[in-house]
Structure 1
Amino acid sequence: CPFLCFSTQPICQAAYQNDLGQVWRWVKEDNHYVNVQDGFNGDTPLICACRRGHVKIVSFLLRRNANVNLRNQKERTCLHYAVKKRFTFFDYLLIILLMPVLLIGYFLMVSKTKQNEVLVRMLLDAGVQVNARDCYGCTALHYACKMKNQTLIPLLLEARADPMIKDKNGESSLDIAQRLKFSQIELMLRKAL
C-alpha cells in the first residue's frame, strides 16, 4: 500500500485509514477479524496500522491479542513496517512550514519520531520476532540501518536483534553501516556483538 491501500478486508482498510471506530466495530462483531489477512497482499489489520504509524489502533489490536508475528506476502511482520515508517510528504511540508514559527516544526518532527519509537517498543513488548527475515532476507535491523535510524537501533539491539544476520545479498546490518559510513551506528552494532 505505498499510496493507496487496496484491501479486500474492510477492517484492514479501516486500520490503514486510522478509523478506530470501524476497527472496533469489526472486532466487536467477531474477534477473528483481529488477525484476518487481506487477500490483496496478506496484510493484517496490525500490519496496516503499522504501515501508517497509527499507535492507537496498534494498541487496541494488541489488547485484542493480535498476532504480531503474522507475515504478509513479502514475509514481513508488523515490525518491518514500523521500522520502515518514514515521514510522509505532508509531515515534511508541515515541518518546513512550521519550523520558523517558534520551532513548532522541530517539535512536530520530534513528536513523530517519538511516536514511531513507542510503536516499535509496543511491538517488541508484545513478543514480535525481532530477527524475522522478509523475502529479501532483511530484518528490521537491516532497515533501521539503511534509514540511519539511531533511535530505533538501540531498541532493536536491546531486544536481541542480531547485527550479523545476512540478507539475500550477503550483507549484514553491520555491513550496511560500514558501507554507508554510519560510524555511530557501526559502533552501536559492534558493542552488541
Structure 2
Amino acid sequence: MGILYSEPICQAAYQNDLGQVWRWVREDGNYINIQDSFNGDTPLICACRRGHMRIVSFLLRRNADVNLKNQKQRTCLHYAVKKRFTFFDYLLIILLMPVLLIGYFLMVSKTKQNEALVRKLLNAGVEVNATDCHGETSLDIAQRLKFSQIELMLRKAS
C-alpha cells in the first residue's frame, strides 16, 4: 500500500503518476515545493522515497528545492540513499530463489538506481551534510547500509 499524503501532488509523486504531477504544477507552480501536512514531505521527497527517476527529473527541471526538510529533518537525499526494496521486489526474489543469480542481479540493479538518483540530486545542489532529527547524514546512511559506491560519491561531494 504505502503512504497516504494530504497533498494530491505528493501522492501522485509517490505513486509515480507523472501526468498528475504535471497537472498540479501547471495549475500552480508553487506546488513544486509544497509540504504535506502529515509529515512535511515535498513532492521531490515523495518521489525519492520510491525511486521514481522520471518524476525526480521533472521536479528538478522545474527548480524543486532539494534542500527542504520534512518533519524528521530529512532531505530528498536521505531517502534517495536508503530507498528500500518494495514488497514486489522481495516477492520476485523469493519466487526466483532457486535462481540466486537473478536475485543478485536484481539487488545490483536496485543499487545502481539509487546511485543514479543520488547523482542527479548531487548535480542539483543538494546539501550533502544535512542531518535528520537523529543527527544522521546521507553519508551515515550509506555507510550503515554498506553502499560503498554511494558513500564514495557523497564523500567527493562533501
Q: Normalising by structure 1, what TM-score?
A: 0.77
Unaligned runs of 5+ in 1: 161-193
Q: Which shows bigger deviation, 98-107 or 88-97?
A: 98-107
Map of 1:58 onto structure 2: 56
Aligned positions of 1:21-170 closer than 5 A: 21-98=19-96, 100=98, 103-160=101-158
User: Is the 8 Å Cα contact of residues 36 and 44 (structure 1) preserved in structure 2?
Assistant: yes
Instruction: Please state how far the C-alpha of 1:100 moved relative to its aligned partner.
Output: 4.5
User: Is the 8 Å Cα contact of residues 97 and 105 (structure 1) preserved in structure 2?
Assistant: no
Give the count of matched residue pairs: 158
> In structure 2, how many angstroms separate the alpha carbons of the residues matched to 1:60 and 1:16?
14
Instruction: Please state how far the C-alpha of 1:105 moved relative to its aligned partner.
Output: 3.2
Instruction: Please state how far the C-alpha of 1:127 moved relative to its aligned partner.
Output: 0.3
Instruction: Please state how far the C-alpha of 1:16 moved relative to its aligned partner.
Output: 0.5
Map of 1:186 onto structure 2: none
Q: Normalising by structure 2, what TM-score?
A: 0.93
Which structure carries more relative contact order (alpha carbon 8 Å, separation 6+)? 2
- Paired letter, 2:106: L
Q: Secondary structure, in 3 states, of the residue corresponding to 2:148?
A: coil
Instruction: Please state how far the C-alpha of 1:101 moved relative to its aligned partner.
Output: 5.3
Q: Secondary structure, in 3 states, of the residue corresponding to 2:38?
A: coil
- Paired letter, 1:95: I
Instruction: Please state how far the C-alpha of 1:84 moved relative to its aligned partner.
Output: 1.6
Q: Percent identity?
A: 74
Q: Which has the larger radius of gyration?
A: 1
Map of 1:15 onto structure 2: 13
Deviations 1:27-85 (A, max 9, x none): 11111111111111110000000111111110110011100000111111000111121
Unaligned runs of 5+ in 2: none
User: Is the 8 Å Cα contact of residues 79 and 120 (structure 1) preserved in structure 2?
Assistant: yes
> How much is the aligned-residue C-alpha RMSD, in angstroms?
1.6
Instruction: Please state how far the C-alpha of 1:146 moved relative to its aligned partner.
Output: 1.4
- Paired letter, 1:30: D
- Paired letter, 1:143: I
